[in-house]
Structure 1
């Protein structure tokens, strides 16, 4: 089934600038000290004058050298400390600006553009709606329903892989928004239809042959919904059935049927086959009869009716009903891959249908 279309909403904002640090100035005094030290060291090796002035000259020279070396050392300390400070300043990394807020309600130009997309979608112009929704997600990438609506359009156009990516963006944003409101006390409005986003992605995954991933989404969708919902139950029942959880599937189908008992729906056939798999053959057959009244010529309904009649020992009636299916459609039910992957019948239904196919001559025994 195609995922349900969703209602929508939004908001928008941008982030703050970062700061930068200027490098410190060079300590010019340190160079002067180094020059003085160099010239003083050269005086130590100068030749002294003759006589009694030698000792005094040596004493004076040593004093000058010590003074010059001390001055040079102090200057050197100053020159070393400055580059260290400069490196520390340069190593400081400013924090990245916070991301824009997650938006649930549209505003300004985004609101207008999103509204245009919804009008086009309601008119069935899905290609034009797709272009609009793609633009919305570029302008407001944190807008939940821009992504979910893009996913709806992609599903309608058969691009399931891209649709899953769009639904996942919507699911992740909605989950994060609700965590902000519920857990962090930031205020604002919740993303109240989170369960619909999960339902859409779960339904897509179910139709894309990924029953385990689908069931995970649909279980969470049921929890988020907080009360029985016929559409969630139908899809979760199907996912449980495809994962082999027939008891859980039967429970979901039964509640969904009780909520729609005045109108027979195609999913009732699935419910009947699950009951047959569980051994409740009389209940299964009674439910099937109601489906047959509503959809008497549907090939899958006739095939299921033939299989259940065979299990009741009514092989002649089963074969006659089976042969009413047009040849091309009937031969699909001979293909085990079709039964396994496309219509995904339970094992006992496949077994009984095979018996009918053999009796009708479509299969060899």
Structure 2
């Protein structure tokens, strides 16, 4: 069996899919994308495919990963690691189809039968947060995630801290003592500011506090983890075992590798094993499309230290398309009391509606994240 063609599709709302075709008719799908840099990643996918994949045996998945990540003198970074991630997903999809088994079966078999999932809630005011969380509880979810704040000075003032606490209080009231909420700070604080902000959340016991500082300040993260009893999470902007190691040493409780950024199933499987040696849980980052979610679930079902799965079905900032629009059979993504059941289909376990993908290709508007500024005109972290 040989790889004969690699295609990419830029589809709404902001996703990039890749399709690997073989000479015996097997097809694998993946999702290589950096949000806001889809066109750049698309170029990288085709460069890697032309150099390493076309004409090769698709079942040499690990060898392909080694070549794609190490076959150039300049390595790494989100663009290249995301391009590798999507291609790696597609290769595992083919491998599973060739052997008639889900990818997680090839990676050691299932360790659970269902995976807990959380959904995002928006809302700036506490009343909005309370209503949105209550709606998700009514829908059967037991966990949600929300932003801790909007635009923020590196050192929050008293009013900022009160707003953060009020949102957390509203979420806790809606969830009760049995439910969980996570708070994402998007690296908007300095280390000192993060310690202040995390401190006001302690009475409300969030499941974890995400990215209290920027990934480039991971070497300072131990100051935050050492100042709080709350679990600290990070990892969506760390793309390899080498990059997550300082976070593990800093005492994080949860790692959040992204299956479409951190080298695909091959590398995130190894990241999860490394995290296990530090007694750290895995909660895959996934505000993306159906293939990223499908790959994340394959990891979830063969990973002992899996905690919870992010997913973007119904997320508040999708515009122009929804995750299920590209899935031929959405049953695999149906929620059961806030959980997703173990997929049993071969490969990534999801059947893509190829006609819908081809029709949508090229219709996505070029998406870039907002650029924020402080009142004095200086740059502010989004």
TM-score (norm 1): 0.23
Structure with the bigger percentage of helix: 1
The structure showing larger relative contact order (alpha-carbon pairs under 8 Å, at least 6 residues apart) is 2
User: Which of the pair has more CA radius of gyration?
Assistant: 1
TM-score (norm 2): 0.22
